[in-house]
A and B are shown apart, each in its own frame.
Chain A
Amino acid sequence: MNNYLTDFWQATPIVSLAIFALLTLIVDAAGKDKPVLSYWMSLIGIVVAAGFSVASLGASTPLFNTMLAQGGYSSYCNLIFLGSAFLCIVLSRNYLERLQYHRGEFYVLIILATVGMMLMAAALDLMIIFLGIELMSICLYVLAGFIRKKEKANESSLKYFLLGAFATGFLLYGIALIYGTAGTTNLALIGKSFPQLSHNSLFMIGAGMLIVAFSFKVAAVPFHMWAPDVYEGSPTTISAFMSTGAKAAAFAVFVSVFIRTFDIGGTKLSDVLAIIAAVSMIVGNVTAIAQNNLKRMLAYSSIAHAGYMLSGIAAGNIEGETGILFYLSAYVFMNIGAFGIISWMEQQDDKKLTFDDYAGLSSQHPAVAALMAIFMFSLAGIPPFAGFFGKYYVFLAAVKAGMTWLAIIGVLTSLISVYYYLRLVVLMYFRDGQASIEEKVSAPAMAAISCAALFLIVLGLYPSLVVDIAKGFFKI
């Protein structure tokens, strides 16, 4: 029997973050009415976990009886999740103080959700995937309804919870069928027998149910119905966290199950995913045009982005995997940046969330308008920002896998998306208006958002920085 105690010492990123979640909880309980303590504690925890993730980039021995991977792929994904959580926490402090809901539990739940995400990325066993998804989702259900007095927040929390529980049912049933046919929940063993199993209809039903559950978590059409309502009703910084960290974690699982384990290139599963990707791109982009509320617009845009990334998974090749890893690192920062600026503009009772509220922003707040423009250009996929290369890599993967039609749909729908992203830029710069930010933006929040924008530009100019790292992770 292995000595699991040493394994705990090796799984440092996850274990340290879990310990910091507990510390944050204790600090919150001990220091009455001082949520600022929890704020700092959670930030320290994230930095420590990020440090351990970087330190363990080179490690590759599986831990806990091949339940948990370390290093490489999982460390890279950890950094994405931790970046998303860090930005979300920094942005949340002022936002929650303004709404008079600044409480320490908020940070504890974000940290615990991040632990769940890290488990999802590092999982080598279907059981760990399930536990990670549940840990993340339960925290998000609560965070979505954190502003308890707001009716819309309650609606979004309940809606997310009920539909999420339904998706969990699909996930468990899928895992049960896969276990029934493969005789194991270990991903490596399932992957080894995948060529035979892929002719087994029960196994394929199980794999299809996994697609349903994961597509729900990434908000891909036709499992996207919850996303606009939930993003609209949740606290804006939590919408940012859900549409970046949670989505990135779901994609990390998608990649590790469907590319790294099943190797689906050229199978029926890849056709199914290609159709989901195409429909997501079309529905997400076309519906986003009609939105007037910015949070809803970003919700539909995030559905479209899920479609772009799914085309990389449908391709199922090395380009697809590296493309998605690059796309995720760009997407997380541009989307959280856009949501962050919306959270600065937003006033109580959901005011100042429409396009028209941003008219003439550049004359009052040139720096904020410039940052928003960078995020919009990047989301639209205009070079030299990182969003362009993200799309380039996933579409290239689709072409290489012989799915040129998918890449064509992707490019055409990206053109549609330019309309609604640039509409905001045009409003900010070329329309007269009284757009202004009522309260002063805190220096850390401004610095965080500026760093995200800078990161997008650097990544857009030197994409090989990330791609080379990502390529090294393929099948370790």
Chain B
Amino acid sequence: MSRSPQALLERRYARLGLLLIAPTIVVFCAVIVYPLLAAIYLSLFQLYTPTLEGSFVGISNYRDLLARGEFWISLRNTLVWTAGTLSLQIVLGIGMALMLHQAVWFRSLARSLILFPYFVSTVVAVLVWRWLFNDLYGILNHMLIGSGAVDMPVDYLGSMPNAMISMILVGAWKYFPFVVIAVLARLQTIPDTLYEAARIDGAGPVARFFDVTLPQLRDVLVVIILLRAIWDFKEFDLIFLLTGGGPVISTQTLPLLVYKEAFALNQMGMAAAYAVVMMAIMLVFMVVYIRRTREKDAS
């Protein structure tokens, strides 16, 4: 039975399609699927980190971690940190972007300088902040005592809730420029006619912001919140260097717990279990968030 030229051509196109998509699939498997499966696989073992030798324990790592108070405290800390720093980043970022969108003097210079905290290395940024917070030589305490606001230095990093508040503030300072860049780019594309129409309708600056600017920013804010929430949720270096998770475990987030299990306690299997749970939590949040946003858009 002879095949029609049409069918042959279609089959060739299908093969070509597979061939063209193959590199993407290979790269996707190598950088996403393999590490993910490897993490899940490792989480089923009790492994000594330096040798990666150990024994299969099934889901007992998951049972253990869910029974540990430390996990729930760290999860709560992670959520407080993420929600706190993300909210501040968004508020500061939108505020600063609106300011830089105006015709102010040295606007180009200001737009460049605003990126400085985002570009500076986290280690350097944390060292600078630790010095600012220092009880003996820090400028913040010096100014507070000098102004008579306090009699004794404030313990910014060693007591609660100061440590969490300081951490959230430093995180917001470090990462809000990302919001500024994205929001500023979107602000420049909002047609002036929308504002003119709003003005004609008698809308003041606040009403124009809520009725014109904010709806126009919604799409970009969805992306920003999604990305920054993921990044903040798994933030490690800033928190580790600033408070080390202390006092006690009051600022210990899940990534710090993963690090502690993997490298302080040399329990790679348990660390992998924490990492898998972290990923699952993030996934749940992201799915809920995206669905809600879509529902809002549809309505």
A binds B: no
